[in-house]
Structure 1
């Protein structure tokens, strides 16, 4: 991948990430509170719907930029050595590498954001200080494994589906899709991927919000899923599925559409 393409991927990814995270933040807060162990009302209900937004504002650009730089780089490397029928596998591998790298930035931001979302009376800085004092840097990375285990299956579904829908639409109309068409494909791919990975998202939320020293704080995803299943059943595993699907469908539309448009303008 050329240097110009790398910078375009970095800038386009960062701009897209900031746009989608800030626009859809209220929906994300509702989803987090629905998934929290104390329940929606005790977690804040509809109060302080922008609690935790500073953490998202700071982490959004570098997180999305890191993902798309890695995604485009790995995709370009693998495309040289793969045949056409392996293209979906190329997109899966590229997206997986992208998520592993992006989560190094995303997880600390997500931990602080989610704790602020369920404690709207505490400031983001206070929550950051409290986490560092009581848990150290390790506390900021609590849930890294569960986040990666959520994001990789999500990307394995979303990105090959997005790329395939774009290819199909391009073939149907006889030319490459426009940015708004890419956005529509992104909305469908994101919503579908969001629905089927919701249990992993619930487990990740419980791990990040768990009190230090508790069972969930250990970060065991299977144990978290088992605990939710035993206490709340299927409805617990799919808590927040509607706002998650809504947010990610809209997010896919804004995120992937903005990414394509910004990248086209820069190139």
Structure 2
């Protein structure tokens, strides 16, 4: 029980750290991907629009993710041989993302609408509930999962592989700063590969209620973006996304490992 608490707290600290530190980059990426275009979506004005929703949601989102991720890893270690490590990490990441998205998606909906308009997070939340109900807050849930699961399929097995390789090379477990470098590299690769899915998810969340895009079809969104802007449209915002996730991966996974070490030594083994 105490280990689960440590995992949740460490994950929450990691999520808060990266989301607050890199929020302006995320805003730029969202506006680049907006159907309205970067300037009409706000340009560089109000670069912290939507931050309150992230502050409220990032801690539980990351906490849920790592509890599920580490839980599946522990269960899998009992039944799977070491050769199946990549499959175990992919499965753990998928379960983690599915759980975390229960919190992440409403936060993303409010955050991205605030980033692409000039309304506050509270105004966006009230208007969404008034016009669309709870269903509106979960618009894009499947498109988010379809983005996050392939991303995690790439990032987390790479992160674990890089850490394992580095640990083997130096004959002792990696330090938190080394884990952060592994996380940055893994995140950069995963971010570039999954940008079209991120564009589709953004378009769905920002679409007007009742429009074809608001139905949540990831394939329809991808086809629409490609028809309008070709490959450039599918990779809109790829540079800030890769930059955000490269730096974010370093902070997120580095802070997670460091916080888990500190919390474990104080809560589980204080002696």
Q: Does the TM-score normalized on the shorter chain lie above 0.5?
A: yes
The correspondence for 2:102, drawn from 104, 116, 127, is 104
User: Could you tell me which of 230, 249, 255 is aligned with 2:252?
Assistant: 255
Superposed, 1:83-162 pairs within 5 Å as: 83-120=81-118, 122-162=119-159
**Structure 2: how far apart are the matches of 1:6 and 1:128?**
31
Select which of 183, 187, 191 maps to 1:190.
187
For 2:121 and 2:2, how far apart are their aligned partners in 1? 36
The whole-number CA distance in structure 2 between the counterparts of 1:257 and 1:193 is: 17
Distance, in Å, in 2 between the alignment partners of 1:84 and 1:19 is 32
Instruction: For structure 2, list consecutive stretches of 5 or more residues without a partner in the other structure.
Output: 265-271
Matches within 5 A, 1:198-209: 198-209=195-206
For residue 8 of structure 1, report the CA deviation from its aligned partner.
Answer: 1.0
TM score, norm. by length of structure 2:
0.97
Count of aligned residue pairs for this structure pair: 264
Give CA-to-partner distance per residue, 1:213-257, whole Å, 9 cap, x none: 101100000000001111100000000000000000000000000
| Root-mean-square deviation (Å) | 0.5
Per the TM alignment, residue 43 of structure 1 is displaced from its structure 2 partner at its CA by 0.2
**Deviations 1:19-62, CA, capped at 9 Å, x for gaps:** 00000000000000000000000000000000000000000000
- The equivalent of 1:32 in structure 2 is 30
Corresponding position of 2:268: none
Query: Per-residue displacement from partner, 1:55-103 (whole Å, max 9, x unpaired)?
Result: 0000000000000000000110011100010011000000000000000
Report the Cα offset of residue 5 of structure 1. 1.5
Q: Hey, what does 2:167 align to over in structure 1?
A: 170
**What is residue 39 of structure 2 aligned with on the other side?**
41
Picking from 226, 230, 235, the partner of 2:227 is: 230
Give TM-score scaled by structure 1 length.
Answer: 0.98
Tell me how far apart the structure 2 counterparts of residues 4 and 176 of structure 1 sit (CA, whole Å): 23
Q: Structure 2 CA distance, aligned partners of 1:212 and 1:11?
A: 37
Report the equivalent of 2:74: 76
Report the alpha carbon displacement of residue 4 of structure 1 after superposing the two structures with TM: 2.0
Unaligned stretches of 5+ in structure 1?
none
